[in-house]
Amino acid sequence: MVDIERLAAHAERLRALHRDTLVLPNAWDAASARIVVEAGFPAVATTSSGVAEALGWADGEATPPDEMFGAIARIARTIDVPLTADIEAGYGLGPEQVVQRLLGAGAIGCNLEDTDHQHGKTLRDADRQAATLRAVRQAAQTAGVNVVINARVDVFLRPPSSTVPLLEEAIRRGRLYLEAGADCIFPLGAPDEPTIRALVDGIPGPINVIAAFRGAPGVRRLRELGVRRVSFAGRLHHAAMADHQRRVAAIARDEDV
């Protein structure tokens, strides 16, 4: 049974953590989530790519929703801190379904990206994406949990066909998504410090940046730049799998590990 009061409190806790720089080492299963909590971090975020690969699927909405939300639920059952889940673009679910599945799994926050995986992995129209975010916000309020929405802006990943500069379009989308009810803006792949600074200055809300990704600096410098949410995407999962691969290869060579 869903404990709405507990989830609502967790949502407000997660939202409040964005007043300072919230650092989120991403988890992909219950064990990795427990490690994050035991290290003292106040919230847990999933990585969609890590969860997908752990379940045997490719990244990019190849994972069936039942499997993705099942994995999120297994993580939620093992931790006592707020959980925010990367659910890509929502797996084709409607806003009410997204909220119901999130809360049913025990998550109180989500990443929602403006890549359209259902139609060729293209960039969605910004107004259409804003309408989706607005509908998710309304569905969350109706459900009694003010879900924390981290709206991903993919213009640096999938440049639009227009001649508008990417930074200008990223700021425009960020502002539009905040107005639609998003809590945080996630401009994936901002290429350098000047761009990150311009995003922080141009978007009147918390910004999420992946540490040391595509020219972004590390956590300390991102904090200095005013970034309010720092995540690691699938990097920790990839590092863990690379270490596992190295050790298995050593065993195959009859070496000690």
In tens digits, the chain (257 residues) has pLDDT values of 789 999 999 999 999 999 999 999 999 999 999 999 999 999 999 999 999 999 999 999 999 999 999 999 999 999 999 999 999 999 999 999 999 999 999 999 999 999 999 888 999 999 999 999 999 999 999 999 999 999 999 999 999 887 889 999 999 999 999 999 999 999 999 999 999 999 999 999 999 999 999 999 999 999 999 999 999 999 999 999 999 999 999 999 999 99
Distance CA 137, CA 96 (A): 9
Distance CA 66, CA 56 (A): 14
Distance CA 15, CA 172 (A): 23
Q: What tokens were used for 237? A: 């999962």
Distance CA 209, CA 232 (A): 8
DSSP three-state, residue 24 = strand
Write down the domain spans for the chain.
4-252
Q: Can you name the CATH fold of 4-252?
A: TIM Barrel (3.20.20)
Cα atoms in the 13 Å half-sphere on the side-chain side of 206? 24
